[in-house]
């Protein structure tokens, strides 16, 4: 266990740094053109600064340096996240092709795995490496996908890092506890400006950084042993919501007609979990609250499982799955022909897009 004043000081310091940095970064973003412009595949109606992720990174990094959290594994995490963050900056500015992002992400994930930041859940080390790479790359992109509505990614990450801080605190993993608490504070500082209506976005810079940090802290929140340790899967289970979202979205896009694996990787759309909620009439503030609550359900299920409360854990996961399943009732995803953007809608509604598609099918 760690002293309470030390534990509280870390998120407070990170919060202050991130919150104070946001107004300055907003001015820099506007002056340099780092703004997210409205488009047919986005839901905001006016340009919004994109450099919120740099403020979050600064809040975490400066806090860890000032607090003296210089564990080599933390420095490895921050170095890897810096590379991913730079890629995010380039993507926000240049809109890089997905293949370039994926190559760097796989390289970073594999390097972390070789350095010892990996799961130990299989009898064969090669499978641990493969699973770790898939986990890290998958969660980086899952959090990027969740960052499609005000507060959605921030709320999800806030719950995830809070649970990682608790698990690592119980397991005596001080370096992960302090890192997770720094992320909690920095995210809160960001959310001051990102709750609906948002005045700043994470951008790919911030969403990929937080995705990497969540992936790594989930791996290291429990002690790694040289022998297979199934407990290592508990922390990742708390991130079921973003993992479900990225898998289900790409499955539905495949069903809608995007058959090429390369096209699936580069596909975009308004069909992620926040989009599906808003398509059913949910406002942006309620959407943020619902996404955050679903993440709380997943975290509660993991905590109950770890505490031996199997029935409580089962109830939490059943409630979560039932809600996500309900969102798919009378739902469909169509690929907009003019820009190949995937759009979520309800079958009971006749949208202009559906009318157009039905007309084209009738002509054909």
pLDDT tens per residue, range 69-119: 667 877 888 888 888 888 877 877 776 777 788 888 999 999 999 988 888
- How far apart CA 239 and CA 128 sit, in angstroms, is 19
Decide if pLDDT at 245 tops 60.
Answer: yes
**pLDDT tens-digit series, residues 303-360:** 999 888 999 999 999 999 999 999 888 889 999 888 788 998 888 654 454 444 444 4
Closest CA to 56 of 142, 137, 158: 158
DSSP class per residue in 32-100: HT-EE---TT---SS-EE-THHHHHHHHHHHHHHHTT---HHHHHHHHHHHHHHHHHHHHHHH---HHH
- The predicted structure's pLDDT at residue 40: 64
Q: For residue 33, how far is the Cα from the chain centroid?
A: 25
- How far apart CA 66 and CA 208 sit, in angstroms, is 24
Average pLDDT of the chain, as a whole number: 86
Pick the more confident residue, 59 or 352: 59
- The predicted structure's pLDDT at residue 351: 47
Q: For residue 49, how far is the Cα from the chain centroid?
A: 19
């Amino acid at each position: 266990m760690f002293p309470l004043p030390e534990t509280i000081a870390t998120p407070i310091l990170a919060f202050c740094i991130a919150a104070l940095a946001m107004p300055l970064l907003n001015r820099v973003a506007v002056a340099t053109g780092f703004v997210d412009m409205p488009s047919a595949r986005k839901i905001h109606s006016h340009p919004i600064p994109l450099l919120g992720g740099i403020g979050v990174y600064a809040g975490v990094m400066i806090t860890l340096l000032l607090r003296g959290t210089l564990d080599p594994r933390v420095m490895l995490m921050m170095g890897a996240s810096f590379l991913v963050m730079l890629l995010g900056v380039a993507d926000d500015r240049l809109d890089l092709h997905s293949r370039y992002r994926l190559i760097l992400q796989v390289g970073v994930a594999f390097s972390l795995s070789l350095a010892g930041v990996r799961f130990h859940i299989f009898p064969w080390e090669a499978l641990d490496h493969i699973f770790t790479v898939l986990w890290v790359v998958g969660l980086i992109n899952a959090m990027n996908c969740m960052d499609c509505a005000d507060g959605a990614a921030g709320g999800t990450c806030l719950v995830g890092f809070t649970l990682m801080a608790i698990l690592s605190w119980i397991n005596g993993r001080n370096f992960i506890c302090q890192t997770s608490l720094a992320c909690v504070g920095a995210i809160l500082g960001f959310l001051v400006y990102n709750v609906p209506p948002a005045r700043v976005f994470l951008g790919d810079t911030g969403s990929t950084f937080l995705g990497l940090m969540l992936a790594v802290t989930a791996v290291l929140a429990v002690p790694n042993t040289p022998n297979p340790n199934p407990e290592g899967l508990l922390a990742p289970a708390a991130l079921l919501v973003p993992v479900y979202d990225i898998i289900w979205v790409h499955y539905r896009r495949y069903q809608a007609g995007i058959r090429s694996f390369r096209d699936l990787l580069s596909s975009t759309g308004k069909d992620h979990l926040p989009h599906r909620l808003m398509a059913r009439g949910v406002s942006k503030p309620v959407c943020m609250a619902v996404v955050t609550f679903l993440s709380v359900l997943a975290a509660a299920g993991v905590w109950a499982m770890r505490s031996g409360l199997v029935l409580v854990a089962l109830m939490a996961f059943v409630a979560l799955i039932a809600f996500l399943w309900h969102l798919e009732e009378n739902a469909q995803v169509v690929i907009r022909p003019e820009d190949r953007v995937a759009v979520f809608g309800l079958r009971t509604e006749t949208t202009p897009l559906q009318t157009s598609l039905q007309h084209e099918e009738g002509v054909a």
